[in-house]
Chain A
Amino acid sequence: MNVRAVANEFAKMRRLRVVPVVVVMVVGVVAYSCVVLTTPGFFESVGDPSGQAWELLLGGLSLAVPLVSPILLAVLASRQVDIEHQGNGWLFSQTAGLSPGHLCRAKFAATGTVVVAATLAQSGLVVAVGGLVGITGAFPTGQWLGYTASAVVVNLVLFAFHLVLSTRATNQLVGLGVGVLGVFVTLTSMGMPAWLAHLFPPWGYYVLATPVEAREVGIVSLDPSHLGVIALGVAGGVLFVLITRLFDRREA
């Protein structure tokens, strides 16, 4: 993968309205996270140093990310690949020395950077909201950073999956349909025991990364499966490289 190919993908993004889609994703996640502000008793706990307002906000973030991200990551991947389908870009790139597999990896490197930036921005903005409403309790740094890192990994794996899917299926309805299916899988995974959620990659891993949960007794800390998320990242990376190499062997 060469730098010029990645730079070229950034240039393509300028006309693909990637920025508005990413803004929708960030705003959507922050807005859904802020729904917890309407929880009865939230503002009473804001000024309490021993309160759980930060944990409540983190719970909102960990619910918002899996609700919003699957569909918009599918949209992002579809936008990147659909132009190549419509303009026969696969063949043009190949004649210019950039095979379909290389092109896919360049797309992942370029748009993946945007996905990482968007995920970090979501997390940072929710922290900013917490600061703005004046939460005085201790900030759960470890839990927050752990969840953000896990969300980055799961988002990247999901984006790579959609990139491959949109490349193989010319009809972009397939990719978007799978994106919507992902939301339902995530919602179902929320009630599953952890061992069962492991069997629904990559969407089930959003749930495995969840650091806190609201129960009748209040917010309780969970033991997120960071190891499982790392395994997902490694397996997803290896599979992405293998599958995109297979793309190089087929006729454009």
Chain B
Amino acid sequence: MGSVRAEFLKLKRSLSWAVVVLLPLMAVVTGAANTVISGEPLEGDWHTLWMRVVVLYGLFPLAVGVAALASLVWRVEHQGGNWNALMGRRVSTPHVVVGKVAVLAALTAAMQAVLVVGVVVVGKVVFALPGVLPPRYLLVSVVIVLACVPVAALQSGLSMLMRSFAAPVAVALLGASTGVLLLVARFEVLTVLVPYGLVSRATQLGTGTFMDGGSVTAGAVAVFGVLALGLAVVVTAGSVAVLDRRDIR
């Protein structure tokens, strides 16, 4: 827990809040603006609004946002003599790596919360939709956050290895593009085994787009959850092994 608290302290003066707040809000504003400009009504009420906002957001902006957050989390370690201080630390390597992934998971959850609030506000204020956002989208939101954890772990590992802030973001864009192509080509198994593909697929849950059937079943939620946690454990273990073999520079 101490490692997680330390990581949050390091982020205190960064601009991580800008990614957490602005990225999902931009997705909401884009979805709403496209609906208003096109003049096409929200025939399926909340479902259509959710689909217009979340599907595009999940294709690559979400992965890029997580990558930017991972770069921010590791940026401090690459500055000045901090890398050597990290190499001479008193806490174990798993504590450091898991602490960073945990912080990224918390920030991703905050991003998803902002997105959900944004969709609800736009749905009510701009489109005057009846009722509230169906609870199944809250369940989908949990799945999206879980699916983001392997990407967060992978991007954390890349940002650990690369001193550049921007290079891991470029890798994230490449990964997300690969995920999209796998989706389009309908390679379902391969898609969910690639972390970026898993995020894109999770954001489509319940929307009926690409390979999705349009329903949110307990089985699908469980499969996504298990896959996400399994991938996250494998990638985090890999990062720990790599960091253990790093030295001062």
Contact = CB atoms under 8 A, between A and B. Distances in A.
Interface string B3-20: 000000000001100110
A82 B162 CA distance: 13
Interface in B152-191: 164-167, 169-171, 173-174, 177, 180-181, 184-185
Interface stretch (A93-101, A127-135, A184-192): A184-192
Interface of A is mostly: helix
A27 B165 CA distance: 22
Contact of B166 (A176, A188, A192): A176
Interface residues of A, number: 35
Contact of B173 (A35, A72, A192): A72
Contact of B177 (A32, A75, A82, A172): A32
A180 B111 CA distance: 15
A124 to B, nearest CB: 19
A196 B112 CA distance: 31
B15 A173 contact: yes
30 contacts: A17-B167, A20-B170, A21-B167, A21-B170, A24-B170, A28-B173, A28-B177, A31-B181, A32-B180, A38-B184, A67-B60, A71-B64, A75-B167, A75-B169, A75-B170, A78-B166, A82-B165, A171-B14, A173-B72, A173-B165, A176-B169, A177-B68, A180-B68, A184-B61, A187-B30, A187-B34, A188-B33, A190-B34, A191-B37, A192-B37
Interface of B: 14-15, 18-19, 22-23, 26-27, 29-30, 33-34, 37-38, 56, 60-61, 64-65, 68, 71-72, 164-167, 169-171, 173-174, 177, 180-181, 184-185
